[in-house]
Each structure stands twice: as structure tokens, then as C-alpha cells.
Amino acid sequence: MRILIDTNVLLDAMMKRQPWAQSAQDILIVVATGKAEGCITSSSFTDILCLLRKHLKDKNQVKKTLSGLFALVNVLDVTGVDCKKAFDLPMPDYEDALLACCGKRHRVDCIVTRNIKHFDGSPLAVTTPEEFLKGI
């Protein structure tokens, strides 16, 4: 199973944001043990980089953390076509629509996110970390 992990889930795991950190870290464990293939978008990667810089305030720690992420997940490219198609989706949040378009093009099975409501109208199945973990 290929899962597209939303930025909020990754940040929950990396920043140990409560009360979501444990389920987010468990998602990464599922990926690390090969029970699912984890993916993120290139746009999510840049968002994570910016937010981790502010949170960690240590360039070397940011680089180490992101190197670990590169080793764990596949980074999916975002194209101009994805950007255009995202405008046409009946979703309330453009960045999440972009994630959905990119995931669909790359044939992921579902998106794992904490913000289910942001994905109303998504062409892909969407689940929370907790729901996903129950199904594994």
C-alpha cells in the first residue's frame, strides 16, 4: 500500500506535537518496517524544511532530520499540471487539493492526514493516522 503522508502528520512526529505525536510516529514506523510505502510531495518537503528551521533553530539538526526523512519516504514531484488541476477540485484548501492531485497522478492508495475536512472533494481516499493504524 502506498500512502501519501500530509505535512501535519510529519510535523507532529518530528516536532513531537501533542496529542498527535505518537500516532504520527507510529505511521513512520509502519513505513520503516515496510508495511506501507510512505510518500510526501516535494511541496510538503519545502514546507517541512521551513517549519523545522523555526522549530529546531539548529541547521545541522534540521539537515539530519530531513536526511532521515529522505531515507524513509519517496518524495513525489509536483507539476504545473497538478497545480492547474488543484484549482478545479471542489476542495476548501488549495494546498491539500494540490496534494490530492499529485497523489492521484502518482497512484497512491490514500492520504493520511489529521485534517480530514480539508480533503472534502478529494479524488483519493483519506484517513487519519489513527484509522490507518487500526487497519494495518
Range of the domain at 27: 2-135
Sign of the alpha-carbon torsion through 41, 39, 88, 116? negative
Q: List the strands of the sheet with 74-76, edge to edge.
A: 74-76, 37-41, 2-5, 110-112, 125-127
Distance separating the N- and C-terminal Cα atoms of the chain: 10
Region 16-45: what's the mean pLDDT?
A: 95
Q: Is the pLDDT of residue 107 over 90?
A: yes
Region 44-62: what's the mean pLDDT?
A: 86
Report the DSSP beta bridge partners of residue 75: 40
**Residue among 74, 78, 96 nearest 87 (CA):** 96
Domain count, the chain: 1
CATH number for the domain that contains residue 77: 3.40.50.1010
